[in-house]
Chains A and B, each alone.
Chain A
Amino acid sequence: MTARTMLDKLWDGSEILRREDGASLMWVDRHLVHEGSHHAFAKITERGLTVAEPGLTYGVVDHYAPTAGGPGSPAIARMIETLERNAKAHGITCFGLDDPRQGIVHVIGPEQGLTLPGLMINCGDSHTSTHGAFGALAFGIGATEVAHVLATQTVWQKKPAAMRITVTGRLGPGVGAKDLALAWIARLGADGARGHAIEYAGATVQSLSMEARMTLCNLSIEGGARFGMIAPDDVTFDYLKGRPFAPSGDDWDRAVDAWSALPSDADARFSRDITIDAAEIAPIVTWGTSPEDALPVTATVPDPGRAPAEAAARIRAALDYMGLSPGQRISDIAIDQVFIGSCTNARIEDLRAAAAVLAGRRAKVPGLVSPGSRQVKAQAEAEGLDRIFTEAGLDWVGAGCSMCVAMNGDTVAPGKRCASTTNRNFRGRQGRDSRTHLMSPAMVAAAAVTGHLTDVRPLLEGRAAS
């Protein structure tokens, strides 16, 4: 038999049929819906349809979830109520505002054991690639596709090409999955992996925790890939064992056997192969308005005058929006506030990394720390991390998407500059005319302490970076 990639195996397992033109009809094992699914529910209601598989559909309030006090406006309250009402009407389990399991959809799926290796997972959110960290086939879909999944529990999708990013070498202190992701996106471009499913491989990836693997897969979409995935192994199994929706008893043993067969065969061929040496990566920050605008914190802001003609206009526009000067040292960029949160970097390990920098120090700027879920929040509080944040002067708030997408009323004011653990530095992403610099939780903590973008590594000396 010919050698198969993990993508091949996952695809074969979920494909119901393939049309002559190449479109595959795929079975959806888990469909996660959030407030944004109101268009899709309206579509199926309009046609008099109901949800085909309520038992495989899970709702969660996250995009509009208030992180302090009640919903910020009647429109926001209506979005939340609409989801809860649709979930109830269709018999769907919903992790609503009063549920202790509530949190960001890509944090709670894994946390609850809903995300498992070998499954096909869809959600109307582009960062659904996060779940691929478990060796699942997971991708974001739009509202028409959400309506289709609701009505049929299937989705039409053309199989992407397989691409492998192999990471070798040791990550230096203060350098993590966020830096790895920004490094490859800077190298290949924000559309560099378009049309591909990325498998992250190599010893360095295998050495990562589940949290770090999720960060890496989460950011796949920022490099243009709809899918990111990592082969399941003991790290995966240890994380999942005992989770509420994970299999148990004999089923667990059978599942682990099946999951252990998922990794790509040794001689499988990928249509693209990229290698990255982790040892060469320094902490990275973005300076512009696309995730590809990323550089080591030790660098200087690009000078459009020295850039190739086709890039110059774009760099100039980005610098203008960001209020930066060509050639300015990145570490001289002063910030107004920080945000630690989002499905990219608000898991327990991310909060620990930020706390390791902040412990015993004061932030020079205000900021929000929003845990990825209520469970992460409870665990952080049990570990005393909340005290470290509040003693540093940051606000410890509730779980949700919060300032990542600025839908719930948590926004960065016009012209203000935020060091952020999120995933998009697009114009206006965190609020109209807001300026976002993406970086790791440790780097955001370092920026908070100094009031400007700064290399976290000296701040970690003599401390254990967790």
Chain B
Amino acid sequence: MSGWTTHTGTGVALDRDNIDTDQLIPARFMSTPRSEGYGRFLLHDLRYDAEGRERPEFALNRVTGPSVLIAGRNFGSGSSREAAVYALVDFGIRVVVAPSFGDIFASNAVNNGLLPARVDAAAAAGLAARLAGADATVQVSLEDLTVSLGDLTVPFEIDAVWREKLINGWDDIDLTRTHAGAIAAHRAARARHQPWAIPRGEAAR
């Protein structure tokens, strides 16, 4: 995953609260290997009717190549399925702006370079309203922690740890392996003081 600090792209507003992970990607698509791409599954049942025809009135079907999604509160609530993030990322979304996010979703997003930018409800509504106008170019800065659209600039919040991670594109596994000594010491202490934490279990079947 590569890091980034600023992003400029086309915005699209999804004027709904509680866009949950089952809407972001319905469960029936989740046995697909990632290499096949998940973009076509994004919000599938809202984008397409039961016969597979595009619903022309749905926001995502009215904008070409959007990369910044502005949504209502509690975006990504529900399941831990990272496939919800894969669907957004493979579709081309780099930033989701919303008043609140599901905690697991937000953490999955950051692990895939997708920014969950938290703004207050009025700011989200202001951005969404402006998107109705002609120019939908949105600028996002991880340096200044702002989202700008035309003459409107609003601040967003993100956990400092996540911000660093997005900027640096850190890979946690490599980072963690530099702490191998501390991990081994912790494990040894666990085995000594709480032996039940390491079950004398059966071997693999």
Which residues of A come within 8 Å of B, CB atoms?
16-17, 19, 21-23, 25, 27, 29, 36, 39, 42, 47, 49, 54-56, 64, 75-76, 78-79, 87-88, 91-94, 99, 114, 116, 118-119, 124-126, 128, 140-145, 147-148, 151-154, 156, 158, 189-191, 194-195, 221, 224-226, 245-247, 251, 254-255, 258, 289-290, 292, 313-314, 317, 405-407, 414, 424, 426-429, 432-433
What is the CA–CA distance of A428 and B157 in the complex, to the nearest angstrom?
A: 31
* Contact of B130 with A by CB under 8 A: no
Which residue from chain A places its CB closest to the CB of B85 in the assembled complex?
A: A142
The 4 closest A-B pairs by CB, nearest first: A142-B108, A247-B196, A144-B111, A142-B82
* A152 and B183 contact, Cβ closer than 8 Å, known pairs A39-B82, A224-B74: yes
Which residues from chain B contact A245 at a C-beta distance below 8 Å? Answer: 199, 201
* A91 and B203 contact, Cβ closer than 8 Å, known pairs A158-B159, A251-B195, A314-B17: yes
Which residue from chain A places its CB closest to the CB of B106 in the assembled complex?
A: A194
A126 touching B80, Cβ below 8 Å: yes
Which residues from chain A contact B80 at a C-beta distance below 8 Å? Answer: 124-126, 128, 140-142
B187 touching A49, Cβ below 8 Å: no
* Contact of B172 with A by CB under 8 A: yes
From B112, B197, B201, A29 is in contact (CB under 8 Å) with: B197
Q: How far is the CB of A343 from chain B (nearest CB, A)?
A: 12
* A406 and B50 contact, Cβ closer than 8 Å, known pairs A142-B104, A194-B100: no
What is the CA–CA distance of A92 and B202 in the complex, to the nearest angstrom?
A: 10
What would 9 more interface pairs be, CB under 8 Å, given A19-B161, A426-B20?
A36-B81, A42-B34, A141-B80, A142-B111, A156-B161, A414-B50, A424-B22, A427-B20, A427-B23
Which residue from chain B places its CB closest to the CB of A128 in the assembled complex?
A: B80
What is the CA–CA distance of A94 and B201 in the complex, to the nearest angstrom?
A: 12
* Contact of B78 with A by CB under 8 A: yes
Query: Which residues in window 164-205 of B have CB below 8 A to A?
Result: 164, 172-173, 176-177, 179, 182-183, 186-187, 190, 194-199, 201-205
Which residues from chain A contact B45 at a C-beta distance below 8 Å? Answer: 427-428, 432-433
What is the CA–CA distance of A326 and B183 in the complex, to the nearest angstrom?
A: 57
B172 touching A258, Cβ below 8 Å: no
The stretch that binds A, out of B24-32, B55-63, B145-153, is B24-32
B161 touching A432, Cβ below 8 Å: no
Query: Which residues in window 38-76 of B have CB below 8 A to A?
Result: 45, 50, 73-74
The residue among B20, B100, B177 with the most chain A CB atoms within 10 A of its own CB is: B20
Q: How far is the CB of B123 from chain A (nearest CB, A)?
A: 15
Which residues from chain B contact A426 at a C-beta distance below 8 Å? Answer: 20, 22-23, 78
* Contact of B107 with A by CB under 8 A: yes
Which residue from chain B places its CB closest to the CB of A126 in the assembled complex?
A: B80
In the assembled complex, 28 residue pairs joining A and B whose CB atoms fall closer than 8 Å, in A order, are A16-B182, A17-B179, A25-B182, A25-B183, A36-B30, A42-B34, A55-B199, A55-B201, A87-B204, A92-B204, A116-B196, A118-B194, A126-B78, A126-B80, A142-B108, A144-B82, A144-B111, A145-B111, A153-B183, A158-B159, A195-B103, A224-B102, A246-B196, A258-B194, A290-B18, A414-B50, A429-B27, A432-B26
* A91 and B204 contact, Cβ closer than 8 Å, known pairs A142-B82, A156-B176: yes
Which residues from chain A contact B102 at a C-beta distance below 8 Å? Answer: 191, 194, 224
Q: How far is the CB of B117 from chain A (nearest CB, A)?
A: 15
A251 touching B196, Cβ below 8 Å: yes
What is the CA–CA distance of A269 and B31 in the complex, to the nearest angstrom?
A: 45
Q: How far is the CB of B21 from chain A (nearest CB, A)?
A: 8
The residue among B16, B161, B164 with the most chain A CB atoms within 10 A of its own CB is: B161
Which residues from chain A contact B111 at a C-beta distance below 8 Å? Answer: 142, 144-145
B73 touching A93, Cβ below 8 Å: no
The residue among B26, B80, B81, B172 with the most chain A CB atoms within 10 A of its own CB is: B80
What is the CA–CA distance of A426 and B26 in the complex, to the nearest angstrom?
A: 10
* Contact of B2 with A by CB under 8 A: no
Which residues from chain B contact A429 at a C-beta distance below 8 Å? Answer: 22, 27
Which residues from chain A contact B161 at a C-beta distance below 8 Å? Answer: 19, 21-23, 156, 158
B104 touching A226, Cβ below 8 Å: yes
A432 touching B50, Cβ below 8 Å: yes
The residue among B15, B82, B179 with the most chain A CB atoms within 10 A of its own CB is: B82
